[in-house]
A and B are shown apart, each in its own frame.
Chain A
Amino acid sequence: MTLGTSKLYSYRFFIPAGIIYLLFFIAPTFLSFFFSLTIWTLSDWKFTGLDNFKIFMTEPSLAIGFKNSLIYAVLTCGLKVIFGFLLAAFLTTDLKTRGFLRSIIYFPNILSTIAVGIIFSSLMHPSQGLINLTLKAAGIPGPDWLGDPKIALVSVALVDVWKGVGIAMTIFIAGIQAIPTHYYEAIMIDGGSAFHKLRYITFPLSRSSFNSVIMLAFIGGIRTFDLIWVMTKGGPGFTTDLIASIIYKQFQGGFYGIATAGNVLLFIIISIFAIPLYRYLTRVEVDL
């Protein structure tokens, strides 16, 4: 041990956490790559090559998950970014009730997703739900939010946005508040309007917040499970099945090999989207 580099703690302290990490994270991850190539019954396995992946990609009831997950992720991510940013810009102005409003918008986040799902399932009931009763009173025939295969996925996505927009807003608020005020003073001296402030100061200088929100919302969206499971269980039929709910159903069916293959695919897909997205977003940030 040379002078000046003496360590405060021995590496031995790392061992307990290291073992846990190895046993419960690294090992299962690599084992799952192996078991995804087998027919697996938990106690026994038979090697089948890439069959499980083939089944996952070709079977319509499984392949629909890729499409739906992508739609869901893009939709929830986009809406969270737009609404989160606008709300944040609005709630960083000198508003008397802004603390109150921020709390209100953040509030759904502290609710359990399961509770939110159950509440909205009953609100969205086609004939007795509050939403359609209200629409009916206004003379508009409400759709069957969760029963119509064409809109069920969008209905769930909207609930997800309602629940998750608070987080996006909070990240944006933190970013906006970090913008030095003299930029705004400068634009005021130049006679810029509130829109100019938003467009030329707040928006470009919140770039790093955008990166965080887009990454979090997109990855969160593509691996969503809980909300869809409570609200539709992937139904009607398979029309709202996401990758995660399909993987879960394969586990339920006892197809551990196929389910594991699904997890490996999910891992690859998230990497395919997330790594370039992250690279692109950080590059844009540096360019500024």
Chain B
Amino acid sequence: MVLAAALSLTAASGLFAAGQKEGTSGTPTTSEKSKQTLTLLMDNQSGRTGLEAVIAAFKEKTNVEISIEFRPGSAEGENLVKTRLAANDMADLNWYNSGSLFQVLNPSKNFVDLSGEPYASRLLDSFKATVSVDGKFYGVPGETIPAGGILYNKKVYASLGLTIPKTWNEFMTNCEKIKKAGKIPIIASYKDDWTSQLLVLADYYNVNSTYPNFASEYTTNKAKFATNSAALRGFEKLQEVFTKGYINKDPIATSYDMALAMLAKGEGAHYPMLTFALAPIKQNFPDSINDIGFFAEPGDSEATNGVTLWMPANISIFKGSKHVESAKEFLRFLMSDEGLAIYMKARIPEGPFAIKGVKLPDAVAPAVKDVVAYIDANKTAPALEFLSPIKGPNLPQICVEDGLGLKSPAECAAEYDRDVEKQAKQLMLPGW
């Protein structure tokens, strides 16, 4: 049953890939003898405006074309990539999440080592760590650094005379005032269940500042969400906003897109989210992008107030590719000053780059400047999934249970600990 499913999946993706190849080689250009077409497999939700501009410039320059193949996002797409890798039928270039998800793909076996590339020293170490195995790194950043925290509507804040909360209690006070003013304090979009995780995951800066060893102890099966009071706070916060009535009604019927609209229109004041949401807001509500600000998820103490950073998705080169050299050349171009300039011209960055010495244009959105302020003040920590290879796949559903009060925060945390155990065993980590 299982193997049949796996086989049919690879057969389907194989057919798809074959179809694509045929389509592109069907129009031969005789004068260009070195014309090559590389494929880049990426999900269909990530923004690609900047990347496409760089691809076009690269074709102009070297006559190497890169065609993008699309796959679904999240778990469904991850499965597709894993299956294509197992069947040795992968695209030349692979766009993928960095951190724990990338580690699962067995990078040293499947991807080309990029440690000797000229841009190696330009990349931020915190990024490189998320795509490295045994000191060698296997991917370059494909986008800017997203931060996780609270996106808020500045107009709502201005009209109610609110200030940016530095502690969780101040945040709750703000929410109470917003609720009294007849607006939605916090937007919950649990129809897209991945969005429910933010209050838990973006709390990691606070976990880290209270309990700095959490990531390593968690990886070695010593620390648990349910029993570590600092880690449990995230689950408690997620339920608190529900029990206090601060989220919108019909959270299960509210999608990510609807949530962005509510935030942009000022119907809702806060949306716990990653800053990559600024791109769709800018595209769909260009007039509102300057009304959107960002602050970190507040902790319990004002002294420790900082932001949890995600790491950008990476682009890696498939080891079995027939065009490894061209693919390497493309990544060099993408990481060069020339490539980055083309990128920023086509797309105003939604965050800082994971590349040293890149100056952001002045035209970046206010929320991006808010994020950069935290980075300049050195008040950042990476999210847990970039410090530990284990992330349980059921966290979205567990967070929905938590966020709707179906179970207590402690029960949800314990449930997540069990979920994580499966992942750790699957990765055959020591100590589990």
Which A residues fall within an 8 A CB radius of B? 24-25, 27-29, 31-32, 35, 39, 41-43, 46, 55, 59-61, 125-127, 144, 146-147, 149, 233-239, 249, 251-260, 263, 267
A234 contacts B397, CB within 8 Å?
Answer: yes
Knowing A28-B2, A32-B3 are in contact, say whether A254-B394 is a contact too (CB < 8 A): no
Say how far B77's CB is from chain A's closest CB, in angstroms.
Answer: 10
**Alpha-carbon gap, A32 to B6, bound state (A):** 12
A144 to B401, CA, bound (A): 16
- Contact, CB under 8 Å: B250 / A147: yes
Q: Is B249 in contact with A61, judged by CB distance below 8 angstroms?
A: no
Q: How far is the CA of A236 from the CA of B196 in the complex (A)?
A: 11
From 9 to 30 in chain B, residues with beta carbon under 8 angstroms from any chain A beta carbon are none
Q: Which residue of A lies closest to B402 (CB)?
A: A237
Tell me, rounded to whole Å, the shortest Cβ–Cβ distance linking A59 to chain B: 6
Q: Least Cβ distance of A242 to chain B in Å?
A: 14
Q: What total of chain B residues lie within 8 Å of the partner, measured CB to CB?
A: 40
Q: How near does chain A come to B288, taking the closest CB pair, in angstroms?
A: 23
* B89 close to chain A: CB less than 8 A: no
Q: Which chain A residue has the least Cβ–Cβ distance from B422?
A: A255
Complex-state Cα separation, A27 to B253, whole angstroms? 43
A239 to B398, CA, bound (A): 11
Question: By CB atoms of chain B within 10 A, which of A25, A32, A59, A252 has the most?
Answer: A252
Instruction: Decide if B419 touches A61 in the complex (CB within 8 Å).
Output: yes
Q: Looking across the interface, which residue of chain B has its beta carbon closest to that of A146?
A: B252
Q: Which of A43, A259, A263 has the most CB of B within 10 A?
A: A43
Residues of B within 8 A of A55 (CB): 422
Which chain B residue lies CB-closest to A264? B1
Min CB–CB distance B416 → chain A (angstroms): 10
Tell me, rounded to whole Å, the shortest Cβ–Cβ distance linking B256 to chain A.
14
Residues of B near A144 (CB, < 8 A) are 250, 252-253
Are A235 and B397 within 8 A (Cβ)?
A: yes
Instruction: Report how far A149 CA is from B404 CA in the complex, Å.
Output: 10
Contacts of B428 in A (CB 8 A): 39, 46
Report the minimal beta-carbon distance from A149 to chain B, rounded to whole angstroms.
Answer: 6
CB-based contact B426/A255 at 8 Å? yes
Neighbouring B residues of A59 by C-beta, 8 Å: 418
**Known contacts A32-B2, A249-B393: does B82 contact A235 (CB below 8 Å)?**
no
Bound Cα distance A42, B104 (Å):
12
Q: Are A254 and B249 in contact (CB under 8 A)?
A: no
Decide: A254 and B190 in contact? CB cutoff 8 A. Answer: no
* 16 residue pairs A–B, Cβ–Cβ below 8 Å: A28-B3, A29-B1, A42-B82, A125-B253, A147-B252, A149-B404, A236-B406, A237-B404, A237-B407, A238-B394, A239-B406, A249-B393, A252-B79, A253-B392, A253-B393, A255-B393
Most chain B beta carbons < 10 A, residue from A32, A149, A249, A251: A251
Decide if B418 touches A147 in the complex (CB within 8 Å). no
Closest to A266 in B: B1
A65 to B75, alpha carbons, bound, how many Å?
20
Interface secondary structure of B, over-half rule: helix
Question: Are B3 and A43 neighbours in the complex by a CB distance under 8 Å?
Answer: no
Q: In the complex, A197→B394 CA distance in Å?
A: 54
Task: Report if B160 contacts A (CB, 8 A).
Answer: no
Q: Does B251 contact A (CB under 8 A)?
A: yes
B423 touching A253, Cβ below 8 Å: yes
B4, A25: Cβ atoms closer than 8 Å: yes
Chain A positions within 8 Å of B400 at CB level: 235-237
For A261, give the chain B residue with the smallest CB separation. Answer: B2
Question: B153 to nearest A CB, angstroms?
Answer: 22
- B250 adjacent to A42 (CB under 8 Å): no
CA distance A24 to B339 in the complex (A): 48
CA distance A259 to B79 in the complex (A): 13
Choose from B83, B190, B407 the contact partner of A42 (Cβ within 8 Å). B83
Q: Are A252 and B252 in contact (CB under 8 A)?
A: no
A125: chain B residues at CB < 8 Å are 250, 253
- B95-124: CB near A (< 8 Å → 1, else 0) gives 000000000100000000000000000000
Q: A27 near B406 (CB under 8 angstroms)? A: no
- Select one of A28, A29, A42, A251 contacting B86, CB under 8 A: A42
A-B pairs with lowest CB-CB distance, top 10: A147-B252, A253-B393, A237-B401, A252-B75, A28-B3, A42-B86, A28-B4, A32-B2, A126-B250, A260-B2
B104–A235 CB distance below 8 A: no
A255 vs B427: C-alpha distance when bound (angstroms)? 10
Please name all residues of chain A whose beta carbon is closer than 8 Å to the beta carbon of B253 when the two chains form the complex. 125-127, 144, 146-147
B residues near A147, Cβ cutoff 8 Å: 250-253
By the criterion CB–CB under 8 Å, are B401 and A253 in contact? no
Collect the chain B residues with CB atoms within 8 Å of residue A46's CB: 428
Q: Which residues of chain B come closer than 8 Å to A237, judged between CB atoms?
A: 397-398, 400-401, 404, 406-407
* A233 surroundings in chain B (CB, below 8 A): 193
A59 to B392, CA, bound (A): 14
In the complex, A32 Cα to B400 Cα: how many Å?
A: 32
Say whether, besides A39-B428, A238-B401, A263-B2, A253 and B422 are in contact (CB < 8 Å): yes
Q: In the complex, which residues of chain B have a beta carbon less than 8 angstroms from the beta carbon of A61?
A: 394, 397-398, 415, 418-419
CB-nearest residue of chain B to A127: B250
Distance in angstroms from B98 CB to nearest chain A CB is 17
Which residues on the B side are within 8 Å of A238 (C-beta)? 394, 397, 401
Do A254 and B78 touch (CB < 8 A)?
A: yes
Q: Is the CB of A254 within 8 A of B82?
A: yes
Q: Are B394 and A249 in contact, with the CB atoms below 8 A?
A: yes
Residues of A within 8 A of B76 (CB): 252
Besides the contacts A24-B4, A252-B76, what 16 more A-B pairs have beta carbons closer than 8 Å?
A24-B7, A28-B3, A39-B428, A42-B83, A59-B418, A125-B253, A127-B250, A146-B252, A147-B251, A238-B394, A251-B79, A254-B78, A255-B426, A263-B1, A263-B2, A267-B1
